[in-house]
Amino acid sequence: MSDFYKLQAKTPAGQPLLLNQFRGKVVLITNTATRCGLTPQLRGLEKIHNTFKDLGVSVVGFPCNQFAWQEPLTNSKMEEVCFNKHQVTFQLTEKVNVNGKRTHPIYKFLKNAKKDLFFSFIRWNFTKFLIDQKGNVIKRYGPKVLPKNIEDDIRKLLAITP
């Protein structure tokens, strides 16, 4: 069993979110922020969620306030803004740290699996990781890579031709 499936997070309401529930699915994980110049990517991530969820793809957003304090909202307010302003229905977690001493275990796992060139740290909001159906981190995408540019990689994992 992949170590990915042994990990867990919490929902914005503080409920356990066991990654074991994603076994056999393609998962796209990203750190998010509601007050970032890249926040419009939430709509692209939602499009991926809606397009591929019935084919076994899950998108999970991990809000983070470590980059210029661009996620200052409480967990419940952040979830409300994501839903009402950006129509986000994919899974969100409570706010986490993606760098530093308090790095969430999921991000320790992701960064260890796929470094960014020479470094493992997350450089900004909306760094994305694609995980295959066996819990392997397949690819890491920089913050400026738009969600629509990840769709072909998702199709490859699902063995779907465009």
Q: Catalytic residue numbers?
A: 36
Buried-state track 115-132, b at ≥16 Cβ within 10 A, e below 16? eeeeebebebbbbbbbbb
Distance between first and last Cα of the chain: 31
Distance CA 134, CA 78 (A): 31
Element at 33 (helix H, strand E): none
